Structures are given as structure tokens and as C-alpha cells.
A and B are shown apart, each in its own frame.
Chain A
Amino acid sequence: MRVVIGEDEALLREGLALVLERAGFEVAALAADADALVAAADAHRPRLVVTDIRMPPTQSDDGLRAALAIRARLPETALLVLSQHAQRRYAVELLAERTAGVGYLLKQRVGEVDAFCADVRRVCDGGTVLDPDLVATLLGRARPDDDPLHRLTPRQREVLALMAAGRSNAAIAERLVITEKAVVKHVSRIYDQLDLLPGPDDHRRVLAVVRYLSR
């Protein structure tokens, strides 16, 4: 699978390439700034673009904007954005266009190589991955006493967290060591409690959950 990497810091750029190549990805190009990234994606039409959010030229959110631009031109491209900090707004923007094949992780997750590579593969396969830190922040937000979220059981909250992170019912069942049927039951309870419309697929429900949690 062809990958293009955008990262302005040389060491990390090379490190990322190394990790992905070892995991069996074909690193087609390395870009040190947002413009080069867009050009590389245009040239190589990769399956996946992995990019840092803060990049030259403006050292602001150029990487994210480049990724969204690539997605607009090449809708089939999967996106994995990395950042030093988890920002809810970025997640919402990333998910807004299309939830399939989108990931948003803290940079430090790269260190946990196996888990990272598994996340990369999930994104390539059209899955959705949100950083656990971000999900924890979303779920941990202070809410008014009458918020429906307070009515969820601890188990339901666990399920909701995994839903928000982009896990499928099967993955959630595996993680929590329960049956998939039990997960489905939990999910429908959660939908009832939070008054959400059941999404057509696992990816759409990520956006619904994140939007709900962002309120």
C-alpha cells in the first residue's frame, strides 16, 4: 500500500517512514511542508496520507488543510493526521466530509509501534480512529446535572468511548470481552438515552457520537 508522509521534522519523518516500511507499507514520498505534501499526493495517488498538523509554510494547521485538500481532490485517499495535542475541533472537521478512512492520533502514539501500525491499517481499510486522549476529553467534559450522559452506566460509557474512537461492534466486543450481541444491546440503549438516530454504518456513528459529545 502506497503511503505519502508529511512531517517537517526530519528525524520524525525518517522514523515514520522506517516504521511504516517495516510494517509493509510502500512509502512513496516524504514531504517537509504542506505544499510539497499536496504535490506528492497528486503525483503518487497514495492509498494513505500520514501528516503532521502543524507544518510549514505558516506553522499553523497547514498539514490538516493539506490533508483535507487532498481528500477533496482524491476522495479515496485515507487520512491519518498526527498532532502534539488532541483538539476536538480538528476531529470534527476531519470527520465532517467523510468518516471512512480517517484517523487522528497524538504523535507519541508512533512509539507504540504495533498499535500504531494496526491503527494505520484500520484507516487504510476505511475505518475511523480517534485518539483515546481525545475521546477521554470528550467524555470527561463537565456537563450540566441534567445531561443524559449522566444516565449511562459505566459499561455503556466504555462502549460509548470505543464507539467514539471508531471501533466496530466486533472490535468493541473483543476489547470488552463480551458478545457482539451484548454490544449491540448496549449501543441501542446508548442511542435511546442520548436520543441519537442510529447511523447507517460504524463510521457515521463516530461522527454522530463525536458531535453529540461536542455539544
Chain B
Amino acid sequence: MRPAWSPPTTDRGDGRDGACAGAAAAAAPPIAAGAPAAVGAPAAVAAGPAVAVRAAPRPQLPPLLLFCAALALLAAVEAVLLLTQPGAPWQLALFPLASACWCAAGGVATVRRPRNRLGALMLAGALAWLAAGLANAPLPALAAIGLVVALAPLALAGHLLHAFPSGRLRGGASRAIVVGLYATALLLHAPSYLLRADGAGAPLQLADRPELVDLALALQDALGGLLMLATAVLLALRLRAATGPQRRVLAPLALYGIAAVVLVPLLSRLQGPLFGDDPRALFTAQAVLLGLLPLAFAGAVLRGGFAPTAGVQELSARLGAGSGGGSAPLREALADALGDPSVELLLATGGDGWADLDGRAAALPDPRSGRGTVAVAVGPRRVGAIVYDAALIADAAPVREAAAIIALALDRERLTVELVAGRDRLRRSRARIAAAADAERRRIARDLHDGVQGRLVVLALRAGELAQAAAEPDAVRARAEQLRRELDDALAALRELVHGVLPAALVERGLGAAVDGLADRMPLPTIVDVGDERYPPAVESACWFVIAEALANAVKHARARTLAVRVAPTAAGVRVEVRDDGVGGAGPAGPGAGGGLRGLADRVDVLGGRLLVDSPRGAGTLIVAELPCAS
């Protein structure tokens, strides 16, 4: 039986040759050689910088370089140590080679993303490969180290796949699988060197319980296979759920990773048909698969997924040097700096709204969507937000740092967008005002034509009749009286018309008298609280139309019982309030009121004022217009 979990370093297929010390052991029994000191000392050196990399957020290049150089040197030493043994197969060189591969990738990752743990993880992987290779060392003490960590590279490879690209494990499933991988690789592996008498693990042996060893190996085999499969499934799911830019980053490593975690156990199952009885061929395939994992990582780096973050500092320089060429450069600079091509910028708009850089309304992403958000503020004032890929950037600290740097630039973007939007709004409102004025003129012309003009024609006719009847005094009197009454009616109609265009009281006495007159004609009790203050004619007219339209709306739509109008001067101008106790729900989307309210908003807007509509459903409507009075 071939175990599904066939560690690259171990051929325990049958145990006949007693090789539990890696595939090579089958051909080359460990030979005692080399100096223990030479191994021990570099190990101590290696431990130092590895700690430094994690502790310091921005390690200096030299210590890292030194560490990598030491690792390379160790790899070389190990290669010489292993290959100079008599009859050593060339495959033993795969351990130091894989280590070098991992070391190079780890170095690049650390330089690019000092805060990201992936670099440290890969450097640890390099160490693990190196240590695992020692299983074949000629010195029993070294060989024992190798035996203990023989499967660590496998667990680290799994860890790397789960932690990419943020460096942190996302979700309980990932954490459980990785813990399981370490347990399977390190704990379940222990019986094979602790409880076996016939292996190279003699220095560590406690007892000889082959049946327990078999049990542990079977368990390791099953559990390991399961965890590898779960890893493959999880990676596939992640790749599927990823958005475009995310997928670009994830794809190389995830695809390679899926292939590796499926193939590694599969190959050992298919060993017979594929490689015959040569465990070395199997090991070669598995070691190459896992050893080259960093190449896939390099692929992700080349596709821009693991861009350097040193740019956060560079960002300020870029912003300073930039000629202010629009928003795209700001976003691009930020994307480069954070190493997240999917990064988005949102602008805070009035109220609690958000807009994208083109001024279109936008919303903050749901935190569960995998998009992280960091607010951008200038002092206490919120100006925008950075939305980034939480899968790509686990630690928000650099994003916050970037937020502080881009705050002023983003505020400028916000003001620009606001300005452009204001200009567009103004253009549209001017067009609407022109159209409204035109419609008003048409209405007046039509009313004059249909009403007063027609009546006057009839009256001219009456006057003609009167002239013809001059001979009969009684008839003249009667017709003249009829003419007078009809003139009265025509005058009343004309008065109404003129009042509708602009009430005389507004011109003569201002808002107080005009609103009094308006309230007198309202079909609902209307409480008027309007002083005798005079305002510039344009302001008075605008206030008048706001009040008249708001009252008319309330009568038409609000089903109110009482109306109230209040006008009071403010420091900057005048504030108009029209309130009703009706059904509420008015607004641009309210019943029938939209067009009227829009027209009012335009009138108010033109004078630099603002119109507010507070109309909660079932709780009445309050329309407030605030207008400045430029002197």
C-alpha cells in the first residue's frame, strides 16, 4: 500500500530497507560525516535575522541580505555534505535547491512588503527544506533533526497557499486546515521516529511499537490527504469568488497550489504505474512540485499583485510633484503605493452620502464583502474613503498612512467634483427656469386671450348697441347698466389674473401683506407669522412663490387641517417656513408635488439659497427656504 500522503523526504512504503529518513535513504543510508559544529552554528545565525524580520516593520536590507546569504551558504554546505557521501543519489541536491528557491522568493517578498508575513513564511520554508534535507546527513544528530521536521516543508507550503496574498489566514476554515497540516506533519510524524527500532532515528527512539507507528502513519496518510484536498477546494472557491483584479493576483499561485496539493498525494498513490519501484522518481516529482511553489509566487508578483509598499512614502512625493492632472493619477498612485490595483476612492458628499470620483452617488461596501474601508479626513472633517481589497491587504495601517497623505489631494478632488456638479446643476436649473418663465408667459397670454380679451370684445359690441339705442332713453339706461355690470365682471377677472401673476400687495407692502392676502383666500385655516420687513424684490418674489406653491401643494396633496407660514429675517437673509399637518411624504418622489418643488428649488437656488423639504410619511410637511439677501 502506498500512502496517499507521501512526504517528499520519506519513503516508508514498506520500511524494508529501514529508510524513514527520506527518499534518498533508500539508496544511500546515512553516513556519519561532516562537522556538527558547522551545522549548529549557522542555525543560530539563521534564527537571529528571522526574528528581526518579524519584529521590525521595515527591516534594513543588509540584515535580510545577510540572512539570505547565510541560508545560501548553508544550502551549499548541505549540498556538499549530502552529495559527497559515497553512492549519494543526485536527488539529495533537491533539498538545498528547493531551499534556495524558497529563500529567494522570501527575500523578494520581504523587500516588497515588509509588513506582510508571507516573506517570513517563505524564509521559514527555506529553513525547513534545509533542515529536512539533513535527514540524510551522515551524522546521527543532524539526521535526527531532519527526521523531526521531515514533513514541515509540506505544511509550510499549505500555509503559504492559505495565507496568500495578505499573509494572514482568512477565516476559520483556513486556520483549521493549517493547524491540521502542522499537526499532521509534525505530531503524527513523531511515532515514526520515536517508536521504531529499525530506522535511522535511533537517537530518538523511545520504544519499539511498529503497530503504533503503522496506526499513526495510516492516520497521517488519511488526514493529510483530506487536508490537502480541503486546501484545493478552498483555493478553488476563493478563486471563483474573487473579482477581476483579485483573480489576477490570486490565479498563478492558487492554480499552481491546487495542482500541487492534488498531485502530491495523487502521485504517491500512482507510484506503482508511474515510477515503478523507484521511490526516488516519486520524491523527485514531489520535491520539484513543492520546491517550485515560489515560482508561482513570482508569477503573482510579476502580475502586479505583490507590488512594493515602500510607495506609501513615495506617494507623498508623487502627490507633491503631480501637476494635479485629475483623479485617475491619484487613484493610480494609491493603487501602486498599496499594491492593490483594485483600490477605489470615494468622496464624502453633503449629508452622509458618498460619491465616486466622477460625482456619481456611491455606497460604502459591506464589510463582509471582503472590501475594507478607511476614512480619509482633513482635521475633523471627513472628505472621503479608501476602499481596498481586504484579501490583499490584511493590515489597514499602511492604508491609514496613505489616507493621511492623500487627504488634502482627495479634498481637492471632492471640491472639484462638487464644483463640476454644481455647474451642471446650475445649467440644468437655468434651462428649467427659462422653460418655466416661458410657460408662465404662455399661460398669461392664454388667460388674457381667453378671458379679458374676449370679454372686452363683447363689451365693445354692447357699447355699439348702446350707441344705436340712443333714441330710447330707457333702453340706453338698461343697456348702460348691463355694460357696467359686465365690465365689473371683466375687471374682477383681470384682477384675479394680475393677482396670480404677482400680487399687488407684494409690490406695495412686501411679504407680510401679500401672505395675509393669500392666507385670506386659502380654503384651510392658515396661521401667518410674517413681519413687515422688506427684502430685495427678487428675494420677496422667490419667497412669495415658495409660500404660494407650498400652500397650494399642501391643499392639493397633504390632506392637512391647518397650514402655517412663518417668515423671519436671519443674519444672512430670510428664512421661510411653510408647514402643514397633513400626510407628509412630499418630495421629489412625492405625489404630484415633484415638479412644483423642483421649480421652487430652482428659484431659491438661483438666488444662492437652499430649499429643504422635511416630509416624513404621516407627520406633515415642512418646507424651508433660506435665502441670502445680498446688499
A residues neighboring B (CB under 8 Å): 53-54, 59-61, 83-85, 87-90, 108, 111-112, 137-138, 140-144, 147
Cβ contact within 8 Å between B522 and A61: no
> Which of the residues B499, B503, B509 comes within 8 Å of A61, measured between beta carbons?
B509
Q: Is the interface of B mostly helix, strand, loop or mixed?
A: helix
- A85, B513: Cβ atoms under 8 Å? no
Q: 28 A-B residue contacts at CB 8 Å? A: A54-B507, A60-B507, A60-B508, A61-B508, A61-B509, A84-B498, A84-B504, A85-B495, A85-B498, A87-B505, A87-B517, A88-B520, A89-B505, A89-B517, A108-B487, A108-B488, A108-B491, A111-B487, A112-B484, A137-B521, A140-B520, A141-B519, A141-B522, A142-B522, A142-B524, A143-B525, A144-B562, A147-B525
Task: Tell me which of B488, B505, B524, B525 contacts A85 (CB under 8 A).
Answer: B505
The answer to whether B484 touches A111 (Cβ under 8 A) is yes
The residues of B that contact A111 with a CB separation of less than 8 Å are 484, 487-488
In the complex, chain B residues whose CB is within 8 Å of the CB of A108? 487-488, 491-492
Expressed in whole angstroms, the Cα–Cα distance for A137 and B517 within the complex equals: 9
- Docked Cα-Cα span, A144 to B456, in Å, equals 41
A60 to B507, CA, bound (A): 6
User: Could you tell me the distance between the alpha carbons of A88 and B513 in the complex, rounded to whole angstroms?
Assistant: 8
- Expressed in whole angstroms, the Cα–Cα distance for A75 and B115 within the complex equals 94
User: In this complex, which of A84, A137, A138, A142 has the most chain B Cβ atoms within 10 angstroms of its Cβ?
Assistant: A142
Chain A residues closer than 8 Å to B503, beta-carbon distance: 85
Contact (Cβ within 8 A) A88 B525? no
How far apart are the CA atoms of A53 and B491 in the complex, in Å?
Answer: 17
Contact A144 B495 (CB under 8 A): no
Could you tell me the distance between the alpha carbons of A144 and B581 in the complex, rounded to whole angstroms?
13
A-B contact count (CB 8 A): 63
What's the interface size class on B, roughly? 20 to 34
The reply on B370 being an interface residue by CB < 8 A is no
Q: Are B523 and A142 in contact (CB under 8 A)?
A: yes
Residue of A nearest to B481 (CB): A112
By a CB distance below 8 angstroms, the chain B residues around A90 are 513
Chain B contacts to A: CB under 8 angstroms: 484, 487-488, 491-492, 495, 498-499, 503-505, 507-509, 512-513, 516-517, 519-526, 562
- Nearest-neighbour CB distance to chain B for A141, whole angstroms, equals 5
Cα–Cα, bound, A53→B509 (Å): 11
Q: Provide the residues of chain B in CB contact with A144, threshold 8 Å.
A: 525, 562
Which of the residues B484, B498, B512, B521 comes within 8 Å of A89, measured between beta carbons? B512
B520 proximity list for chain A (CB < 8 A):
88, 137-138, 140-141
Q: Is the CB of A84 within 8 A of B513?
A: no
Query: Which residue on chain A has the smallest CB distance to residue B521?
Result: A137
Bound together, the chains give a CA A140 to CA B505 distance in angstroms of 19
Set of chain A residues within 8 Å of B495, measured between Cβ atoms: 84-85
Q: Collect the chain B residues with CB atoms within 8 Å of residue A87's CB.
A: 504-505, 509, 513, 516-517
Docked-complex contact A142 and B526, CB < 8 angstroms: yes
With a cutoff of 8 Å between Cβ atoms, the chain A residues found around residue B522 in the complex are 141-142
Give Cα A140–Cα B517 distance, bound, in whole angstroms: 12
A54, B508: Cβ atoms closer than 8 Å: yes
Write out the residue numbers on chain B whose beta carbons fall within 8 Å of the beta carbon of A89: 505, 509, 512-513, 516-517
Q: Return the chain B residue nearest A62 by Cβ.
A: B508
Q: Would A88 and B523 be within 8 Å (CB), given that A54-B508, A61-B508, A144-B562 are in contact?
A: no
Most buried by A among B499, B509, B522: B509
A15 to B484, CA, bound (A): 15
With a cutoff of 8 Å between Cβ atoms, the chain A residues found around residue B526 in the complex are 142
> How many Å from the CB of B526 to the closest CB on chain A?
7
> In the bound complex, do residue A85 and residue B504 qualify as a contact, i.e. CB atoms below 8 Å apart?
yes
Supply 18 further A-B pairs (C-beta < 8 A) apart from A108-B488, A141-B525: A53-B508, A54-B507, A54-B508, A60-B508, A61-B509, A83-B504, A84-B495, A85-B499, A85-B504, A87-B516, A88-B520, A89-B505, A89-B509, A90-B513, A111-B484, A137-B520, A141-B520, A143-B525
